[in-house]
Amino acid sequence: MSMTTGRAQVAGGLKSLSEDETLFRDSVRQFARETIGPLVREMDEHQKMDAGLIRQLFELGLMSIEIPEAYGGQNGTFFESILAVEEISAVDPAIGVLVDVQNTLVVNALLRWGTEQQKRQYLSRLAKDWVGAYALSEAGSGSDAFALQARAEKKGSHYVLNGQKLWITNGKEAELFIVFATADPSAGYKGIHAFLVEKSFPGFTLGKKEDKLGIRASSTCEVILEDCQVPVENLLGEAGKGYKVAIETLNEGRIGIGAQMLGLAQGAWNHAARYAKERRQFGKPIATFQSVQFQIAEMAVDIEAARLMVYNAARLKDAKLDFVKEAAMAKYFTSQVAERVASLAVEVFGGYGFVKDYPVEKFFRDSKIGKIYEGTSNMQLATIAKMVL
């Protein structure tokens, strides 16, 4: 099969789900609405995930979708991970990003770069009860991801890590962190190593937990490394190839963020469309007014286009075809759509949309992060321009 033929076949099946995929999507949707839904407001207000909910995510296999059965996982596909993130995010994007980071970043990095021993040791825990986190960003290293100041020095049977990491999603819940540090600053990005670091390792501590605008139930924490001792066998991938681990994993992760923003937009639209049929003005539902109809229709068009882009990128990834451009496009576009749709949903609700008693206010707050994390919109545009010119 040629590359061109393969891409055409993938594109031809974007919207059609297999029977198994449909059943999976529907079961996740039901769980999200019935189990996550009643907890959303309390978790947002207290900036804390419900511990029982996290246990349920593990029990249902939603934290181990692509982990092979040999390690206790579900042996599913990347596309199924994307479906899960989308459906959960339609109810609560904060829980959606927990599931996203676990599956598209941490698990995928281990599947691609881990040794057999690392997979046996860590994938089995990630499938059972360990949350994972991805620690790349630093105070002076955001879009310039490889301007790392964290240092790694090999001393006998251990590496010793020193430095600070910021904006680490799942920081409070995680037991395993993929940490990036520079062993040879003179080598530039080729001096970066990736490490599997357990929260219990000596010298590892959590710092400040951020007080955020949106996705407040999702913990975003500082990680402090003070002579943190990491066994040599916990080097992930080859020495000096940490940049490859970071770049290639983030390419996949951007599809996950696209799915989160897609789900968010769909959730906001669901509420707006329903409210427009319930709210009466001038003696009839506001959904009968053409101006409102046009808003609802434009939102639906944007969501449909976003879904096609996310599904396309995910299908390409599963088919082992090039997807970097499509992932950047999906992440860029869905973050634009999520913010626009959530904003319009607030307007459909009018004054009620501006108060916390109704759900669209939270979707609007949650939407802003989509343009920022796992590569800002400007960085996605730079990637897209590089690949299309």
Confidence of residue 324 (pLDDT cuts 50, 70, 90): very high
How large is the average pLDDT for residues 4-13? 54
With 50 as the cut, is the pLDDT of residue 378 above it?
yes
With 80 as the cut, is the pLDDT of residue 294 above it?
yes
Burial (CB count <10 Å: 0-12, 13-18, 19+), residue 302: buried
**284-285 and 280-281: which strand pairing?**
antiparallel
With 60 as the cut, is the pLDDT of residue 175 above it?
yes
How large is the average pLDDT for residues 353-372? 97
| C-alpha Rg value of the chain to the nearest Å | 21
Model confidence over 302-323: pLDDT tens digits? 999 999 999 999 999 999 999 9
**CA separation for the pair 105, 132 (Å, rounded):** 9
How large is the average pLDDT for residues 348-363? 97
| Residue 6 pLDDT | 60
Model confidence over 239-293: pLDDT tens digits? 999 999 999 999 999 999 999 999 999 999 999 999 999 999 999 999 999 999 9
Domain edges within the chain: 3-131, 134-240, 244-388
Are 260 and 85 a contacting pair, CB within 8 Å? yes
Which among 66, 173, 222, 374 is annotated as catalytic? 374
The domain over range 134-240 is classified in CATH as 3.30.499.10: no
How large is the average pLDDT for residues 322-341? 98
State yes or no: is 374 an active-site residue. yes
With 60 as the cut, is the pLDDT of residue 12 above it?
no
Q: List Cβ<8 Å contacts ≥24 apart for 51-59.
A: 53/95, 54/98, 54/131, 54/173, 55/129, 56/31, 57/95, 57/98, 57/99, 58/127, 58/128, 58/129
Confidence of residue 142 (pLDDT cuts 50, 70, 90): confident
Topology alike, domains 3-131 and 244-388: no
Calculate what percentage of the chain has a pLDDT beyond 90: 94
Question: What is the topology classification, in CATH, of domain 3-131?
Answer: Butyryl-Coa Dehydrogenase, subunit A; domain 1 (1.10.540)
Which CATH number is 244-388's, of 3.40.50.920, 3.30.230.10, 1.20.140.10, 3.30.310.10?
1.20.140.10
With 60 as the cut, is the pLDDT of residue 218 above it?
yes
